[in-house]
Structure 1
C-alpha cells in the first residue's frame, strides 16, 4: 500500500484494499519499525526535546516560536520554574502505547478495555471519557493535549471562572497536560494560565509545553514523508512522539472519511453527531500515511471492533 498510490485511488478501492488487509494478523515488523524510529530520532529526538525543559531551554533563552519565526520569548525565572528539569520520559521506553484520535470510527467499537490495557495512553484535545463513552474509548490517560483554542472557546481564556476547567480536567486524574505554548504568540499567555490554574487548585497533574523546535522538526519530517498540511494535527504530533517513546504503537479513532471501511456513515467525532468536514489539517494525507505504515508493520491502525 504505497502512500502515493493510495492518495490517487478511489475511496471505495481504498476501503476494499484495507478490508483485504484485515484478513492478515498484524505484527510489528521489528526491522521496519526500528529503521523508521531511527530516522525519526535523528530528526526530532523526542526523549530530549519533546517538551521545553530546564535542560534544553536554559534561563535567559530567547525561544523562537514555531510559526512566528521573527518572534521570540525570553525565558525569565518565573517561566523557567514552570519547566521540568529534564524530559519526564527520557529514560523509559514503553512497551505498548495507544494514541487515541477522536474520530467517529471509535463509536460502538468496544475498544475501551483494549485501550486501557496499554502501558501508556495519549489523548488529543480534552475529549470526553465519561461512563457514556468508556466502553468504546476507555478511561486510562497518561498524556492529554489541549489546544489553546479550546481554552478560549470553552473556558473563556480562563480570565473569569476557572473551576469549570479544573473540574473538566479531573476526569483525567493524574494525566499530564501538554500545550503548544510556543506555537505562536497568541498561544503563550493562555497556556501559562493553565499552569497557574492547576497550581492554584493544588492539582497533582503536570503541565508541559511542546518545544517549538521539536514541532518544527516534526513538521518538516512529515512533509518529507508526503504529508502536506499548514499545521500538524494534535494526533500526528502525539503519534510522532509515541513512535520514539514506545516499542509498539497502536492508533484508535484515526479515520478521515465520512464512512467506515464497511461503507457505513460515521460522525466526525465519537462524541457528537457532526458530519466530517475538510479542515486546517491534512487529515486524508495523514491517514494514507498511517495505513502505509500499518502495512509495513511500523504501527497498527485499528478501524474495526475490538473483541
Structure 2
C-alpha cells in the first residue's frame, strides 16, 4: 500500500517537472523522505516514525550541503545559447512541440568522436589509433527500428526480451550483463554499447576479458569541462581511461571503439537546458540520455525501455544488483534525470499504456523527419569529423 502510493507520487512528479523554481532534486529527495517512514515502518508507532523522519531530513540536508560545498559548478558551465532564455518569467515560457524538439536535436546534436587533430591527441597520433570508419560511416545505411534498453531494475518481470531483440539494432549501457537469468526480460541482442569511462579505468569491470564487450560497436564518454579544453581534459580526466583505451585499440585494431568528443554531450545539455524551465544541474547528461541522442541519429524509429519508468518502478538501482536500493537512479542526483525524462516524455509518439505496462517510449528518428536547417546544423560545423548523414533504405 505504501509503496503503491509512492509509485503514484513518482509518476506524477515526472509528468510535472516544469512546475517550480525550487531545485527539482531537493524536492524529489524531501518527498521521498516524507514517504520513507510509511513505506518501510508501517508497524512502528507514530512517535518512532516521527523520529525516523527527522533523522532522514537531517541526513538529506547534510548531503545537500556537502554536495554543493564540493561539487558546485565543477565543469565550469557558462550557458551559451539563449534561444529560450532561462531568466524569463513563466508567462513567457513556450514549450516546443514534439516535432520541434526533435528538430532542435537534429539540427544541433550529432555524435562526434574524439578530436584527434586537436591538442594533445594530435601530438600523440591518436588518429592512428582510432577506428578506420566513423560511427556514421560504419552504419551508413542506418536502421529502421531500434531499441535503447536502460539498466533499470523496473525491467525485471517485463518479459520484453523477445520484443527487444526483434529490433534491427539494440543499444545497451555500461556493464549491463546478458546472463541467462535476465534474458526473458532484457533480451540478448546488442549492436552498440555506450559506457562511461569508469568501465575502462576500473579493472573490476573486466573490460579486457568480459565477452559482453566483444563484437559490437562501443562508445565511451568521460566528463570534461564545458569550455572544451582538450589539454586539460587529457591531463585530468574524470577517470584515468586513456591508457586503457590505447591498450585496447592495440589489442583489437579492427574493433569499433569510439571516444566521445565532450562537445557532443554539452551541446545535448544546452538543448536540454533551453527546453527546461528550471535550471538543471551543471553536469553532463546521463549515459542513457546520450545514448538516446546517438540512436535518434541512426534510426527511423527508436523504442526506449525503462527510461521513463513503468508501473514496475523500483527503488533498486539496476536489474542485475540484488540488494542495492537507491532512488537517485530513477529520480536523479548527479545527472538531472527528471529533466531528461520529461524531455523524452514530451517527444513520445507511443501510447500511455506502453509507458505504464512496458516502460516504453517511442520516438521518431532524425532520418524520418524533415527539419529546416539552422546555423547549428552539423553540416555547417567543423567539429563533425567525417560526418555523413545515414541514408534511408
Indicate whether the TM-score tops 0.5. yes
Instruction: Pick one of 107, 124, 141 that aligns with 2:156.
Output: 107
| Alpha-carbon shift at residue 98 of structure 1 (Å) | 0.8
- Residue of structure 1 equivalent to 2:113: 51
Q: For residues 246-277 of structure 1, what are the alpha-carbon distances to aligned partners after superposition, in whole Å with 9 as ceiling and x for unaligned?
A: 11111113246xxx526x64522111132233
- Residue of structure 2 equivalent to 1:216: 266
1:228 and 2:280 are equivalent in the alignment: yes
Structure 2 residue matching 1:129: 3-state secondary structure: coil
> TM (normalized to structure 1)?
0.70
- Give the whole-Å Cα distance in 1 for the aligned partners of 2:193 and 2:157: 22
| Alpha-carbon shift at residue 194 of structure 1 (Å) | 3.1
- Give the whole-Å Cα distance in 2 for the aligned partners of 1:228 and 1:176: 31
- Give the whole-Å Cα distance in 2 for the aligned partners of 1:292 and 1:301: 15
- Give the whole-Å Cα distance in 2 for the aligned partners of 1:276 and 1:131: 25
- Residue of structure 2 equivalent to 1:160: none
Instruction: Pick one of 338, 343, 347 that aligns with 1:293.
Output: 347
- Give the whole-Å Cα distance in 1 for the aligned partners of 2:340 and 2:198: 22
> TM (normalized to structure 2)?
0.56
| Alpha-carbon shift at residue 88 of structure 1 (Å) | 2.7
- Residue of structure 1 equivalent to 2:195: 146
1:237 and 2:237 are equivalent in the alignment: no
How has the CA–CA distance of structure 1 residues 228 and 166 changed in structure 2, closer, same or farther, with 3 Å as cutoff?
same
| Alpha-carbon shift at residue 198 of structure 1 (Å) | 5.3
- Residue of structure 2 equivalent to 1:199: 250
- Residue of structure 1 equivalent to 2:122: 75
Q: For residues 84-132 of structure 1, what are the alpha-carbon distances to aligned partners after superposition, in whole Å with 9 as ceiling and x for unaligned?
A: 3442324323111111111111111111111111111111112111112
Structure 2 residue matching 1:186: 3-state secondary structure: coil
- Give the whole-Å Cα distance in 1 for the aligned partners of 2:171 and 2:180: 19
- Give the whole-Å Cα distance in 2 for the aligned partners of 1:297 and 1:112: 19
| Alpha-carbon shift at residue 192 of structure 1 (Å) | 4.1
State whether residues 99 and 238 of structure 1, in contact with CA within 8 Å, keep that contact through their aligned partners in structure 2.
Answer: yes
State whether residues 317 and 325 of structure 2, in contact with CA within 8 Å, keep that contact through their aligned partners in structure 1.
Answer: yes
Structure 1 residue matching 2:145: 3-state secondary structure: strand
| Alpha-carbon shift at residue 217 of structure 1 (Å) | 1.0
| Alpha-carbon shift at residue 203 of structure 1 (Å) | 7.3
Q: For residues 111-165 of structure 1, what are the alpha-carbon distances to aligned partners after superposition, in whole Å with 9 as ceiling and x for unaligned?
A: 1111111111111112111112111111111111221223444538xxxxxxx43
Structure 1 stretches of 5 or more lacking a match?
A: 12-31, 63-72, 157-163
Kindly tell me the number of residue pairs found equivalent between the two proteins.
Answer: 254
Instruction: Pick one of 306, 327, 333 that aligns with 1:253.
Output: 306
